[in-house]
Amino acid sequence: MKRFIDDYKGESFDVVVIGGGITGAAVAYDAASRGLSVALVEKSDFGWATSAATSKVIHGGLRYLKTYEFGLVRESLSERRIMENIAPNFVYPMRFMFTNPTPAMKIGLTLYDLIAFDKGFVWDKSKKIPNHYALSRERVIEEEPNAKREGLKDARVYYDCLSICPERLTLAFIKSAVRYGAKVSNYAKVEDFFIEQGPKVCGIIVKDLMTGRTHTIKGKLTINCTGPWADIVLKLAKKSDASEKIRRSEGIHLIVKKLINNHGVGTMTKTGHFFLIPWRGHSLIGTTDKEYPGDPDGYHVTRQSIQELLDTVNKDFGNDDPIRYEDVLFAYGGLRPLLDSAKDVHNTTRKYEIYDHGDEGLSGLITVEGGKYTTSRNLAQNVMKAAEKRIGKRLSPCRTHKQRLVGSDIDDIEAFISSIKRQNSDFSPATVEYLGRHYGTEYDKVLILARQDARLAETLNADGEILAQVAYAARNEMALTLKDILFRRTGIGTLGHPGREVLLKVADIAAKELGWSPDKMQANILEAEQAFKLPE
């Protein structure tokens, strides 16, 4: 997978997609799979912002029942099942527990099961999701000893899905688009639109942030999939400070030591809800839902936001040992793009809107606003319905729900993992399993590198990750910075700082693969170190 902008020859495309998060990736994949020529540009790395700042859950939106958004819940539950089918190595059923459920919650869970009437229609039968069930106080304590016991009566357990690596799942959509001929490039920033008389958007003007060169990329239709930046990008086309403005909601997450076993343990609060989710031998705490009024380029997680989440968790979860600020191993956050329809961002809909600006006199441009990770594939399908009218070409039916993503062509994931462990006994079972789940059928390409160079076979953490993943990311997955490798191509940095020794080994391999000078290597190390630091 190579950046097309490195040797772009000026060709024109049917569709130009701005934004390489999950929305843009899904749109590019759907468009390319229908035979359209597609170019996608992303100003940073693929999936670096909102798509990476998730709770690692593919869910139906149980809480949307509270606001009577039954259509959104049905769409989300249907897409949850499709994600299980097309990405079996990334998406897994997981139990979620709510303690002391209210009568309304019990009714909601029953309704949730009914709306997900087709949840058993999965290609891999190990992905089949059962109905919710009750759990006694004694069983809650037995299964999750750290749950708050004061006032505990019982619990209800229901199922949604864990996404073990949203960053690589987003990348799988990008790779799937490339498989169908899409041209993609990260670190390519849109600076303006190419507009002809009409007015008509006929493409974009892009700056390659790696070289400083500027390119005009022409296309019949440009689709703005920039999430929290959608209104800012749109102003480039409208040449005005028009009233279009999306709302942005901050969601942060914390990584701490293991506090729970096999359930996502949740609690409803006055301002929303939070979960503790088991992930890679640790606990993931999230999320918040707080309006962010500033410039999205200036967003960062603050100490105040972290402390507010800790205070909420310590009040409603656990017993005598509160989680302290210094217990946080890593913190990450992002901004959700929301449709402006409620005073409280927590109650703002997670629906999406598709705007064809041809209806307002600016043809050749479509903007997507709102949405959520779970429904991104169906969102893309609906975008292509709007695009068909403007492209002037009859499109073939959508196929993205009928075929697995690149690397995910696996009929039975657990049988697949068992098989590759037997076939690769020269590596630890932990390493083979990690690679099998995160790289799917491409796992062997990583092992080949490790077999060719014994240095690349070195294990870096308890999950079994190896240095060969670093080389593979640089050679095959368009990773251009140390942060790309640590946070989006591998899991080496996503549990917090891996240790100075590991960081330097990863940087050394990356520098050799990418041809960095000593100064550039040091700059990448400093940027990574900064990303690991908690705000003071």
Query: Given this model, what pLDDT does residue 433 score?
Result: 98
Q: Do 123 and 405 contact (CB within 8 A), yes or no?
A: no
Per-10-residue mean pLDDT, the chain, length 536: 96 98 98 98 98 96 92 97 98 96 94 97 96 97 92 96 98 98 98 92 97 97 97 87 75 96 82 84 94 94 95 83 95 89 50 89 93 96 94 92 98 98 98 98 98 98 98 98 98 98 98 98 98 96
Query: Given this model, what pLDDT does residue 517 score?
Result: 98
In 3D space, the residue among 442, 530, 450, 440 whose CA is nearest the CA of residue 482 turns out to be 530
- Quote the distance between the C-alpha of residue 236 and its chain's center: 27
Report cis status (omega within 30 of 0) of the bond before 535.
no
Q: What does DSSP assign to residue 123?
A: S
Query: Given this model, what pLDDT does residue 267 score?
Result: 78
Residue 78's DSSP bridge partners are none
Give 39's contacts (C-beta < 8 A, 6+ positions apart). Answer: 4, 13, 15, 16, 17, 182, 183, 184, 185, 217, 219
**Burial class, 324, CB count within 10 angstroms (exposed 0-12 / middle 13-18 / buried 19+):** exposed
Structure tokens at 62: 């149980």
d(CA 62, CA 67): 10
Residue type for position 524: N
Domains and CATH numbers, the chain: 4-50+168-246+350-391 (3.50.50.60), 248-338 (3.30.9.10), 413-532 (1.10.8.870)
